[in-house]
Amino acid sequence: MSKTHLLIVEARFYADLADELAAGAIEATEAAGCTYERLDVPGALEIPAAIKFAALSGKFDGFVALGCVIRGETTHYDYVCGESARGLQDLALQHNLAVGNGILTVENDDQAWARANRSKKNKGADAANAAIAMVSIKKKYGVS
């Protein structure tokens, strides 16, 4: 039986936060005995499309979406948060993909770092663990 193989998709708009989220996701993935590949995208809105493109390859059992959206002065925040989450949920439901959503949606840098930091909330690890759990559920029910 082959190991679970994940794709970790990282929005690089806030590179330092993306690095910390990825480090947490990689630690959790390796601790679970899974393998992974990484893919960088510019921002959170690009994550769902990148996951769909990669899913078509058939190479991956699950996907980890990582990024951060910090509220600014315009309504752009609301669109990015809502549409990136909707895109991931649509992929999971319509295409039977196992996705862990680690896109942080926060008010400021302090909240972002509290969630990304591996010694605090470690949301990168949480997203990887969610993807791994969903892969297990798919396998349990024979979903391809």
Question: How far apart, in whole angstroms, are the C-alpha atoms of residue 123 and residue 106?
Answer: 13
Question: Strands of 35-41's sheet, edge to edge?
Answer: 35-41, 5-11, 62-70, 99-106
Annotated ligand binding at 74? The verdict is: yes
Annotated ligand binding at 69? The verdict is: yes
Annotated ligand binding at 73? The verdict is: yes
Annotated ligand binding at 106? The verdict is: no
Which DSSP state fits 66?
E
Catalytic residue among 3, 76, 95, 120: 76
As given in the structure block, the two tokens for residue 136 are 């297990």
CA geometry: angle 68, 91, 59, nearest 5 deg: 95
Active site residue 95: no
Is the alpha carbon torsion for 65, 71, 76, 77 positive or negative? Answer: positive
Annotated ligand binding at 4? The verdict is: no
Annotated ligand binding at 44? The verdict is: yes
As given in the structure block, the two tokens for residue 54 are 């990669």
Annotated ligand binding at 47? The verdict is: no
Annotated ligand binding at 13? The verdict is: yes
Indicate the annotated binding residues: 13, 44-46, 68-70, 73-74, 101, 115
Indicate the annotated binding residues for 5-amino-6-(D-ribitylamino)uracil: 13, 44-46, 68-70, 101
Indicate the annotated binding residues for (2S)-2-hydroxy-3-oxobutyl phosphate: 73-74, 115
Q: Which residues are catalytic?
A: 76
